[in-house]
């Protein structure tokens, strides 16, 4: 039990540090896009070419960050989910119940608010999912600012609901944001998936073949029109979990090796490529733009209401237990923090037909309000440092 607790604390510490790196990346993106807009645009359009086994993929850096790096991000998310379900915080129904319900209600409520406030308009309906996601690293980064004042149960609950939140986002992206489907490459992608799971069935534990076929699958998906981030999820479920005959844990090995790479390279680079907002293109009218306000409102109000109300209902009716050492005001602060959509919200915004300035302003505004509001509530609801020392 102590070993599991240590693993959880190490993971959260890394995610919190990644959240700080993400915040710094957002500042870099905003500063660079305004102080050197020409060089920033050149950076976004740097050409990148990949060629393996005669299969060539030609992408700009911005496109690669969204389809390539995020495939790695989702590989890690799916690997973490498998670990939690197998042996971690989500390995029993009792442990699953609270975060799954909170993730679902926190996903649905912002979408409903967005659709109701936009009147289901055909011009904006593609942006319904922008406000449904929680940025794991950013949210845990905020919690990390309060150090040991935050109960482990509160951190674990936020982490688990954010993981399920990302899983739902993956499904939405694969189904709702794939355009111009090419049936030939869809069939080739299907063949690559069959090869991956055939290797798993044949107990192949060498990771090299998985990564080669995984790259081929990713390339086929880029060309197929189905969003290529799905390839990362498929690869995570194809790689053997373990233990193998030689006591190896292949998926855990990947997970541990990817954590720092994702936290300190993948997510920051994605943020730099997507968080830049050129101030000359932003006027006071943009801040009052209905779409920007609706996205911000959906993030802050939708997440707060969707998560907190359901948490209160489930706990007060006795369906689930309240996380250890937490109070309802702490859960309210956590619910507000969950409105930090940032990375995934920007990602989905890029895939939608919403004006880039409008969705970026809305995401930045909603994220800022959620971070500040949640931090204020947590500041007053969490035990003070001297109270922890006295205990």
244-293 pLDDT, tens per residue? 666 778 888 888 888 888 888 888 888 888 877 776 666 666 667 899 99
Return the residue matching tokens 């869809």. 186
Q: In which domain, by residue range, is 306 found?
A: 2-390
**Between 148 and 353, where is the model more confident?**
353
| Predicted pLDDT at 12 | 56
Least confident of 26-35, 48-57, 74-83, 139-148: 48-57
Chain segment 99-138, per-residue pLDDT in tens: 889 999 999 999 999 999 999 998 899 999 999 988 877 7
Least confident of 152-156, 229-233, 296-300, 319-323: 152-156
| Predicted pLDDT at 4 | 47
Distance CA(51)–CA(53), nearest Å, equals 7
pLDDT at 344 over 50: yes
Least confident of 153-162, 167-176, 209-218, 281-290: 281-290
Task: Indicate which CATH number applies to the domain containing 300.
Answer: 1.20.1530.10
Q: What are the Cα distances from residue 352, in Å, to 59, 118, 179, 287, 302?
A: 19, 15, 11, 20, 20
User: Cα Rg for the chain, rounded, in angstroms?
Assistant: 21
Q: What are the Cα distances from residue 243, in Å, to 48, 73, 198, 251, 340?
A: 37, 24, 18, 10, 36
- List CB contacts of 55: < 8 A, sequence separation 6 or more: 216, 219, 220
Distance CA(210)–CA(222), nearest Å, equals 18
| Predicted pLDDT at 356 | 85
pLDDT at 8 over 60: no
Percentage of residues in the chain having pLDDT higher than 70? 87
Mean pLDDT confidence for 187-215: 91
| Predicted pLDDT at 1 | 45
**Between 345 and 89, where is the model more confident?**
345
Average pLDDT, rounded, for the chain: 83
3-class DSSP state of 119:
coil
- List CB contacts of 346: < 8 A, sequence separation 6 or more: 271, 274, 275, 359, 360, 363
**Between 153 and 61, where is the model more confident?**
61
Domains in the chain, number: 1
Task: Write down the pTM of the prediction.
Answer: 0.73
Is the peptide bond prior to 243 cis by the omega test (within 30 degrees of 0)? yes
């Amino acid at each position: 039990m102590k070993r599991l607790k240590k693993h959880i604390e190490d993971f959260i510490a890394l995610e919190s540090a990644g959240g700080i790196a993400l915040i710094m990346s957002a500042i870099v993106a905003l500063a660079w896009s305004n102080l050197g807009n020409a060089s920033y645009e050149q950076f976004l359009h740097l050409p990148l070419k990949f060629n393996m086994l005669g299969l060539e993929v030609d992408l700009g850096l911005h496109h690669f960050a969204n389809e390539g790096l995020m495939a790695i991000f989702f590989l890690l998310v799916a690997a973490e989910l498998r670990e939690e379900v197998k042996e971690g915080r989500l390995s029993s129904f009792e442990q699953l119940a609270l975060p799954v319900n909170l993730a679902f209600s926190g996903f649905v409520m912002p979408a409903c608010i967005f659709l109701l406030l936009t009147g289901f308009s055909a011009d904006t309906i593609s942006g319904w999912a922008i406000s449904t996601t929680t940025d794991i690293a950013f949210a845990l980064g905020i919690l990390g600012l309060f150090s040991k004042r935050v109960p482990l149960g509160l951190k674990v609950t936020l982490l688990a609901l954010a993981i399920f939140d990302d899983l739902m986002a993956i499904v939405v992206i694969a189904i709702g944001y794939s355009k111009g489907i090419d049936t030939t490459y869809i069939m080739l992608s299907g063949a690559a998936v069959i090869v991956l799971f055939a290797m798993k069935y044949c107990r192949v534990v060498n990771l090299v073949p998985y990564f080669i076929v995984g790259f081929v699958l990713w390339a086929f998906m880029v060309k197929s029109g189905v969003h290529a981030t799905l390839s990362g999820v498929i690869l995570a479920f194809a790689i053997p979990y373990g233990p193998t005959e030689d006591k190896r844990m292949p998926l855990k090995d990947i997970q541990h090796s990817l954590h720092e790479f994702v936290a300190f390279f993948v997510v920051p680079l994605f943020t730099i490529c997507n968080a830049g907002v050129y101030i000359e293109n932003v006027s006071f009218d943009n801040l009052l733009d209905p779409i920007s306000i609706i996205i911000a409102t959906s993030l802050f109000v939708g997440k707060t209401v969707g998560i907190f109300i359901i948490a209160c209902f489930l706990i007060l009716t006795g369906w689930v237990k309240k996380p250890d050492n937490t109070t309802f005001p702490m859960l309210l602060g956590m619910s507000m923090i969950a409105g930090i959509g940032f990375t995934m919200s920007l990602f989905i915004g890029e895939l939608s037909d919403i004006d880039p300035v409008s969705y970026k302003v809305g995401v930045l505004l909603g994220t800022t309000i959620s971070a500040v509001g949640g931090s204020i509530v947590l500041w007053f609801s969490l035990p003070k440092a001297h109270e922890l020392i006295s205990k």
